[in-house]
A and B are shown apart, each in its own frame.
Chain A
């Protein structure tokens, strides 16, 4: 029974993928979209079923499918683990996934390859489910790489544009760098525990602690973190995510905001019992998270591409989540993941709606004044913006505030960084809102003429997500957290006691809100009061230029890593390869030269031949009878 449901959960999207790939063309545009959506909805309902089961019984469900790989000392099975954590992820992956599928039916309607789009989306959902429900690290790794693949396919969906393809390739390779870390982490864990199964590792960790293990464990968790930072776009591997916005907007919403990029957080939460043992690595995670959040937020301040702003905002928010992870507050990170999924998906879809209305225009300098024409979009966008900026009682406020609180308790410096990042977030999000929806429209006349609210299939998901952005915080209210309670079995150590809501806590809340308001205020004065419009690219100067060019990180990577590899490749190709070849030919050339010389010896002169004969005779005799 459970096995078949699990198979249904897994295979529904996969069947959707297959049928869309093979019969998508015959199904027609809407048909393939509906099929794709249905596949995910089925998974969503199965997830709901399991969720109700598990939250009732509190017993995780384990399903053994088949044996997979055998290694020297242990074997890796294809098992499915449905516990509180994976179900939570399943719910929002399939839930938001369903919404975005619905959205895409309309959004991608004009694309000739829409069936492929849905095929890839289904495949993505399939891999994401695999990632989440795998009961050991290697199955997670299948999903991990699989979602990377789908991300590659979807970023490069418009494959005629080589820049998009570049972005796709970059995403895949950056992810692979992380994946190598992940893989090494897996090796070390396999070596230490002779298993990759989460539950078995957990038992091993909880029962015995071996000092020898600890050193290796730090390396393992560090490697795993590298893996996570690849997938979840942390420093130094974050540069692919902004580029990934080349894909269609629903993809950005689903993969590059709500689900895939949170896989790193999922993995670390999954392995919280390991990370708990390695405080050094936790510190690294916290610092990296904090810095990422600040750097990304600062870049977000000056971006003009609507999706780029959202992308940097995503990186920044992910940084905050990693900060929480690093401080051991896994449940807080999970909480933020969920609320972030709601409001960020809403933001992306909203921006998609705007782009849709403007026929592909993404530059905010060419927007403005859309709130009249696109009421639903504006409203939902506003809700989500408030949520991300941390205004109570929207969802983002609670989650972000908890992170800040944890940071305040653990490390003041990190707290300051996170707080600054939050303020920046509020600023650039409202900058985005103002530039897009307020004031006069700055685009062409023709665009203005065609401005329209998006159809129902687009606005419906927006509304659902908008509502979730408002009420999502309810799952973990300070002091009475359902989420913490629900997730308790997952953690090795009980979650941080829900902070006693004392003066400090209220002070912090107030501080956060004030900070957010300051950010909003600055944005308001700049873009509403003074009606500023960001400068054209060529006019940007000073530090803003550095920010606008993302601290030149891409250029630096290009110059320090990619270019040298290319030159090395050319050098090896042109010189070393030919050189090695020449060495081999050199043997031939030597023999050949000898042959040429030898030909001179063979001069046809019989006198010489006889002389050689006598010489040979004499030397043999001499050697045998005189040298002996």
Chain B
């Protein structure tokens, strides 16, 4: 069995969901995504036994393109992240009634398929196709099932689409250029390429455009907050939980090993930029009025830190970045879900209109609180493991980076607790707030359970990703 099975299940899931009718769609999608998760666990098991689960077949000969999937620990970790979050995200949407549910869930499944493909592809061209492919479903999800004023939404979503599309086209040029040099899009061929300093610089920059917009690193982030706010929560979760990680993963998988010298050259600039994003995101988040926007900026801050970790080019940086990607994926999905739950009951996302929820729904409050704490990387949560490792790598690069980047733990606590206080605490709200339902509870419990368990025992994940990261580091150094 190789990794194509996961892709096939997800794709099949998308098709079956589409034909299953509006009523059954969510359950069918849940089923298929859960099966995909099971399949990826089996792949993981195989991988741990030392069986190569990759796949490779010739797709075209002219130009020379292979349909090749590489399943090393890093890719598997990201695939698992995708396949575990997808059912959770689908489950989280059970309380919503979407028009045309079959389309909606089919798109969600398709997006999961595309993102999984992005993580697995080891042929640059194939990778690019999956990368772009994941953009279409989220465009429709945000456009059609989003909230708020339709014209505004359209504007935000099209901006997002064009912006990210623009970035990735530059990456495509980079890939084409590399192809001219290497005669292949294969990952290892591209790794082995000897490029001149100028070439590396431009290749690095071309990739950087694509990734900086996707991740996003300031000042390329302007699409983010609006889209997060306007998209339906499921879309926001997909975007923030998984899609951002595509950018970060790609930095590690493609950009750094292909253009290591340029990365070394630009290290200070780019790490500095990423860290500036941490501060910027945190400060902007402080005074947001909309809960989803606040979370969007918090996400900006967190991914800034992750990106900084990636670009330090150290083992700790890369490893911490991957850990933090996984952790952030979970926590941000949880937080957006919390926002969604409040919205389901109060029909508002404005923080000022909330408050006093704690006395009405202790369970929800506790779960939200734990997520907030995980988000500020309290030790004991998985986020801490990642953030600590990343900050340590920043320190190895430069003390100032660590100090400035470290302010995230202060500012993060500042805006998150401020939000929590305004949204949840205070005099009991006049409007009734039902506590979490069973379905909602499951999502929270799974997310929280994951974060806490791996917070105390991250070893399995660390062991999974470390060998592949070391392989990549060989090419970087």
List residues of A whose CB falls within 8 A of some B CB: 21, 66-72, 78, 116, 138, 141-142, 144-146, 149, 152, 156, 159-160, 162, 165-166, 169, 172-173, 176-177, 179-180, 183-184, 187-188, 190-191, 219, 565-566, 568-570, 572-573, 577, 580-581, 583-585
Q: Which of B393, B409, B427 contacts A180 (CB 8 A)?
A: B409
A577 and B222 in contact, given A166-B421, A176-B409 (Cβ under 8 angstroms): yes
CA distance A583 to B163 in the complex (A): 12
Q: What are 16 of the A-B contact pairs (CB < 8 Å)? A: A68-B457, A68-B459, A72-B314, A144-B379, A145-B378, A160-B359, A160-B426, A176-B376, A176-B410, A184-B395, A188-B399, A566-B287, A569-B283, A572-B284, A577-B284, A581-B226
Interface flags for B220-234 (1: CB within 8 Å of A; 0: not) read: 011101100000000
Interface residue ranges of B257-290 to A (CB < 8 Å): 280, 283-288
Q: Which of B163, B223, B280, B385 contacts A572 (CB 8 A)?
A: B280
CA distance A426 to B44 in the complex (A): 67
Docked-complex contact A172 and B413, CB < 8 angstroms: yes
Pick from B71-79, B109-117, B169-177, B400-408 the stretch touching chain A: B400-408
CA distance A144 to B388 in the complex (A): 15
Docked-complex contact B373 and A165, CB < 8 angstroms: no
Docked-complex contact A146 and B426, CB < 8 angstroms: no
- Shortest A346–chain B CB gap in Å is 32
Check: B147 CB closer than 8 A to any chain A CB: no
10 smallest beta-carbon distances between A and B, as pairs = A142-B379, A187-B395, A569-B287, A569-B286, A72-B315, A159-B425, A581-B222, A72-B316, A180-B406, A169-B417
Q: Which of A67, A72, A149, A580 contacts B378 (CB 8 A)?
A: A149
- Total number of B residues with any Cβ neighbor in A under 8 Å: 59
Docked-complex contact B219 and A172, CB < 8 angstroms: no
Docked-complex contact B427 and A160, CB < 8 angstroms: yes
Decide if the interface of chain A is mainly helix, strand, loop or mixed: helix
CA distance A187 to B356 in the complex (A): 40
The residue on B at minimum CB distance from A76 is B388
Docked-complex contact B284 and A69, CB < 8 angstroms: no
Q: Which of B319, B358, B389, B391 contacts A159 (CB 8 A)?
A: B358
The interface residues of chain B lying within 8 Å CB-to-CB of A190 are 392
The interface residues of chain B lying within 8 Å CB-to-CB of A577 are 222, 225, 284
CA distance A570 to B285 in the complex (A): 10
Docked-complex contact A69 and B385, CB < 8 angstroms: yes
The interface residues of chain B lying within 8 Å CB-to-CB of A68 are 385, 456-459
A145 and B379 in contact, given A165-B426, A176-B409 (Cβ under 8 angstroms): yes
Docked-complex contact B366 and A21, CB < 8 angstroms: yes
- Shortest A243–chain B CB gap in Å is 14
CA distance A568 to B280 in the complex (A): 10
- Shortest A140–chain B CB gap in Å is 10
Docked-complex contact B283 and A572, CB < 8 angstroms: yes
CA distance A568 to B283 in the complex (A): 7
A173 and B410 in contact, given A72-B316, A572-B280, A577-B284 (Cβ under 8 angstroms): yes
Decide if the interface of chain B is mainly helix, strand, loop or mixed: helix
The residue on A at minimum CB distance from B355 is A162
Interface flags for B194-228 (1: CB within 8 Å of A; 0: not) read: 00000000000000000000000001011101100
Q: Which of A78, A173, A584 contacts B159 (CB 8 A)?
A: A584
The residue on A at minimum CB distance from B159 is A584
The residue on A at minimum CB distance from B415 is A569
Q: Which of B222, B283, B373, B389 contacts A584 (CB 8 A)?
A: B222
The interface residues of chain B lying within 8 Å CB-to-CB of A67 are 459
Check: B22 CB closer than 8 A to any chain A CB: no
Interface residue ranges of B380-402 to A (CB < 8 Å): 380, 385, 388-389, 391-393, 395-396, 399, 402
Check: B475 CB closer than 8 A to any chain A CB: no
Check: B91 CB closer than 8 A to any chain A CB: no
Check: B414 CB closer than 8 A to any chain A CB: yes
Docked-complex contact A71 and B222, CB < 8 angstroms: no
Docked-complex contact A573 and B288, CB < 8 angstroms: yes
The interface residues of chain A lying within 8 Å CB-to-CB of B426 are 159-160, 162, 165
Check: B418 CB closer than 8 A to any chain A CB: yes
Docked-complex contact B380 and A146, CB < 8 angstroms: yes
- Shortest A575–chain B CB gap in Å is 11
Excluding A70-B462, A145-B379, 11 further A-B contacts by CB distance (< 8 Å) are: A71-B392, A72-B393, A78-B456, A144-B379, A146-B378, A172-B417, A183-B391, A187-B391, A187-B392, A569-B284, A580-B221
The residue on B at minimum CB distance from A143 is B379
The interface residues of chain A lying within 8 Å CB-to-CB of B315 are 72
Interface flags for B417-453 (1: CB within 8 Å of A; 0: not) read: 1100100011110000000000000000000000000
The interface residues of chain A lying within 8 Å CB-to-CB of B316 are 71-72
Check: B466 CB closer than 8 A to any chain A CB: yes
- Shortest B252–chain A CB gap in Å is 15
CA distance A502 to B403 in the complex (A): 49
The interface residues of chain B lying within 8 Å CB-to-CB of A71 are 316, 389, 392
The interface residues of chain B lying within 8 Å CB-to-CB of A146 are 378-380
Most buried by A among B223, B285, B380, B389: B380
- Shortest B19–chain A CB gap in Å is 38
Docked-complex contact A66 and B457, CB < 8 angstroms: yes
CA distance A570 to B283 in the complex (A): 9
Docked-complex contact B392 and A184, CB < 8 angstroms: no
The interface residues of chain A lying within 8 Å CB-to-CB of B388 are 69, 138, 183
CA distance A169 to B376 in the complex (A): 13
The interface residues of chain A lying within 8 Å CB-to-CB of B285 are 569
CA distance A172 to B457 in the complex (A): 26
The interface residues of chain A lying within 8 Å CB-to-CB of B410 are 173, 176-177, 180
Q: Which of A72, A162, A176, A583 contacts B413 (CB 8 A)?
A: A176
- Shortest B159–chain A CB gap in Å is 7
The interface residues of chain B lying within 8 Å CB-to-CB of A160 are 356, 359, 425-428
The interface residues of chain B lying within 8 Å CB-to-CB of A180 are 403, 406-407, 409-410
CA distance A190 to B391 in the complex (A): 12
CA distance A202 to B361 in the complex (A): 49
Docked-complex contact A184 and B378, CB < 8 angstroms: no
Most buried by B among A145, A149, A580: A145
Docked-complex contact A584 and B163, CB < 8 angstroms: yes
The residue on A at minimum CB distance from B380 is A142
CA distance A570 to B457 in the complex (A): 40
Docked-complex contact B421 and A169, CB < 8 angstroms: yes
CA distance A583 to B223 in the complex (A): 12
The interface residues of chain B lying within 8 Å CB-to-CB of A176 are 376, 409-410, 413
The interface residues of chain A lying within 8 Å CB-to-CB of B409 are 176, 179-180, 183
CA distance A219 to B219 in the complex (A): 33
The residue on B at minimum CB distance from A580 is B222
The interface residues of chain A lying within 8 Å CB-to-CB of B284 are 569, 572-573, 577
- Shortest B470–chain A CB gap in Å is 10
Docked-complex contact B406 and A570, CB < 8 angstroms: no
The residue on A at minimum CB distance from B396 is A191
Q: Which of B287, B399, B406 contacts A183 (CB 8 A)?
A: B406
